[in-house]
Homo-oligomer: A and B are copies of this chain.
Amino acid sequence: MDIQELRTAHPEHWNKAAAIRALALDAVAQANSGHSGMPIGMADVATVLFEKHMKFDAAAPEWADRDRFILSAGHGSMLLYALLYLTGDAEITLDQVKNFRQMGAKTAGHPENFLAKAIETTTGPLGQGVSMAVGFAMAEETLRGQFGKNVVDHHTYVIAGDGCLMEGVSQEAIGIAGRQKLGKLIVLWDNNNITIDGTVDLSDRTDQISRFKASGWHVQEIDGHDPVAIDEAIAGAKKASKPSMIACKTHIALGHAAQDTSKGHGALTNGDQNAAAKQAWGWTAAPFDIPADIKSAWEAIGSRGAADRAEWQDRHDKLSTARQKLFGRVMDRDVPTKLSAVIKALKKQASEDKPKVATRKASEMVLEVVNPIMPETFGGSADLTGSNNTKTGGLGVFDETNRKGRYVYWGIREHGMAAAMNGMALHGGIRPYGGTFMCFTDYARPAMRLAALQQIPTVFVMTHDSIGLGEDGPTHQPVEHLAISRATPNTYVFRPADLVETAEAWEIAFSSKTTPSVLSLTRQNLPTVRTEHKTKNMTAQGAYVLAEADGKRQAILIATGSEVEIALQARDLLQAEGIGTRVVSMPCWELFEEQDEATRRRVLPAGPVRVAVEAAGRMGWDRWLCGENGNRKKAGFIGMDGFGASAPAEELYVKFGITAEATAAKVRALLSGEDTGL
């Protein structure tokens, strides 16, 4: 690569791009940590994108109709921070750039969406950004379908690296985007042929051009250092009716001694080499210093969109008041005022009718009444629509012919579904929920964690949540997945016992602004246990007294979901023997943890024997059994201690000893001292 030629061919472009390169080099060197090579390699692409194409206004990073920019190759975070600082973002200041990767800085090692308004997504785990981008583009299509292109009409741009394309989730994302003809999604692939272990062909020789074409993408190949080619390619991509991938042939760490090597991927901290690189770039300014003319050229780019935004505001203000209010409400993640009444009515009806239904079916019954009053909900399933019960009447199917459809067939792609849902939630205006089997939490995990970390209210509808699914056997029977979800910070894990609790769980999930929810739902039918109507959302307390002890309280049974029925039956057995037994339903550990100590003690007072019943592993239960005012000598657990088996569900419950009889026997043994507890 002849740097001199590049410099002289397009000097103004070059200088703007060099500013990115210099900032990335300086910040990483100062932090002695980070990734220099990618920002240096992709500076030309990013410069042209922001200068010529990105619709944004640095003064209004939350403008609803801005183009979205997602740095899927999140390790190259300095590229993003440099762009934000240069264009005049109010939060990513020069001080922030200088504090790259330091305590409390907004310029974290990888972009964190919750640290600055202009950071759209948290990326770093590879493949997530490009997959979330699919959700961004779907959200845009949906909102455009609903509100019209006068208020919603923008692109989603992604910079992705080889790692993003090697991760399997990228194939799921590519497949979805191609199928759905997401023409406003444009992926710029940093085709630098370098991974951490060496050249890409050490591990992969996939022809990415053919691969994307095979899934229905528009594909172009360009020199990623030629600003004219970059400009033309992006312009071409914007015209395409398919999602577009531009393979940008670049040199990682361009102009540095580490150029085109895997060493160039990481932190370039050698002072002499860095000085030589700057010399090659013709960059003479002091570290972190951006010459005024270059800075003002960048700031002009940052303010270029102000006029667009003003025009958009005019168009927006021409919407009817009701439409404006609705648009504002869904973008703000506010729920409609009607939600509470609809949920209460359903609960009341359920307590009266006492249906015996699976909670997956109960979930559908809730969605049937909620979806009509919340146009922002968007459902789907990873090819288990009829099993997850996620599709309600009137949603319509989202595809290239119907952008108003609010249900999508995600295909057998749990991971891609979860990541795309995150993208929809991040875009705003949409409340996505999607279903698969609880056991396949495993497939969706990386995206479920990112939902929690990014503080977005994605809803994961996880049905077939225990051995209760029966014959499909241990590959499909979750035993550790409640623990997995509960162990994840900022995640509500709901395991409702009946239609009433399911309605309460959905109300919380759909009202949440910053916490994702996991709904753990049964395949098998369950009786209504909340037969006395309460307007209060009891699930919001996390755990509550469902049935009080008759006579002296000697035992407390704590159960969730399908095992609440078993606990109630065990209570009947014990009460018949004069053993006063309270049953606590505990649909959400996290919300119970949030209660004050007095509330927690009222539900779980010291003294009585405590036995938890849950058709899952014991991990975590000790906290509620022998911590939290409990006593290990008077505590027991009825659940699974290994994988399940293939057989009819009722037989499995007997085989694994999760029965009312076993629960009652455990209480008796603990009361007598024959069982010495945990």
Contacts and interface: CB of A to CB of B under 8 A. Distances in A.
B488 A412 contact: no
A116 interface: no
A200 to B, nearest CB: 8
Contact of A473 (B124, B452, B476): B124
Contact of A629 (B386, B387, B618, B632): B632
Interface in A412-432: 412-413, 415-416
A345 interface: no
Interface in A92-138: 101-105, 108-110, 112, 122-126
Interface stretch (A60-68, A211-219, A573-581): A211-219
A657 interface: no
A253 to B, nearest CB: 17
A483 B475 CA distance: 20
A124 B195 contact: no
A564 to B, nearest CB: 22
A655 interface: yes
A168 B178 contact: no
Contacts of A302: none
A486 interface: yes
A166 B413 contact: yes
A479 B453 CA distance: 12
Interface string A179-219: 10000000000000001111001111111111101111000
A74 B474 CA distance: 12
Contact of A196 (B386, B443, B453, B677): B386
Contact of A488 (B203, B480, B486, B678): B480
Nearest to A479: B489
Nearest to A122: B475
Contact of A678 (B163, B383, B623): B623
Contact of A195 (B383, B627, B651): B383
A71 B159 CA distance: 38
B166 A172 contact: yes
A8 B627 CA distance: 72
A33 interface: yes
A207 B214 contact: yes
A658 to B, nearest CB: 15
Interface stretch (A284-292, A336-344, A370-378, A641-649): A641-649
Tell me the number of copies of this protein. Answer: 2
A170 B167 contact: no
Contacts of A563: none
A677 B630 CA distance: 11
Contact of A31 (B442, B471, B483): B471
Interface in A428-480: 439-440, 442-443, 445-446, 449-450, 452-453, 470-476, 479-480
A179 B449 CA distance: 31
A490 interface: yes
Contacts of A170: 168, 171
Contact of A632 (B385, B387, B476, B626): B626
A162 interface: yes
Interface string A390-429: 0000000000000000000111110110000000000000
Contacts of A197: 381, 383-386, 409, 411
A3 interface: no
B489 A484 contact: no
A299 interface: no
Contacts of A453: 474-475, 643
A627 B628 contact: no
Nearest to A478: B449
Given A108-B645, A166-B413, A450-B475, 7 more contacts: A33-B648, A109-B646, A178-B206, A203-B411, A207-B214, A440-B446, A622-B626
18 contacts: A33-B470, A33-B471, A108-B473, A108-B646, A166-B411, A167-B172, A168-B413, A202-B411, A204-B411, A210-B210, A442-B446, A450-B475, A489-B617, A490-B643, A619-B619, A623-B678, A626-B626, A626-B632
The 5 closest A-B pairs by CB, nearest first: A168-B168, A203-B411, A124-B475, A171-B171, A108-B646
